[in-house]
Amino acid sequence: MEPFPDPLAFPEPAEPEYSLHLYITGATPNSTRAVRNIKEICELHLKGRYELVIVDIYQQPELAQQEDLIGVPTLIKRRPGLVRRLVGDLSDHDRVLKALGIMRLPDDL
């Protein structure tokens, strides 16, 4: 006979809804801007619902080769939906939100 679950126990963490991988080249200005921009977007629009993996291709070149990157920085959205790729410093927040499938709320304008 299984015991009843503890109603005060924390539930098992669910897999994040959004899986994002950002490929950068060290601490270059574009890479630094891309990291700052995607973190800001995620905290404003996806708080608690995302996993962000930042890969420095100087440190892990084999990961970049697997992805066939055409430019850096590159953001790859793996989940949800179709895989999407964005190249650049991610400063065009509307473009990033559209690629992530996030609708901007009227009070976000």
pLDDT in tens, 41-99: 999 999 999 999 999 999 999 988 888 888 999 999 999 999 999 999 999 999 999 99
Q: How many residues does the chain have?
A: 109
Residue 78 within a domain? yes
Asked if residue 2 is part of any domain, the answer here is: no
Query: Which position has the token pair 């899986």?
Result: 19
The sheet with strand 74-79 has its strands ordered as: 50-56, 18-24, 74-79, 84-87
Domain extent at residue 88: 18-104
CATH at residue 61: 3.40.30.10
pLDDT class of 4 with cuts at 50, 70, 90? low
Q: Would 109 be classed as within a structural domain?
A: no
Tell whether 9 is covered by a domain.
no
- pLDDT band per the 50, 70, 90 thresholds, residue 16: confident
Indicate the number of domains in the chain: 1
1 inside domain: no
Q: For residue 46, tell me if it sits in a domain.
A: yes
Confidence of residue 108 (pLDDT cuts 50, 70, 90): low
Residue 10 lies in a domain: no
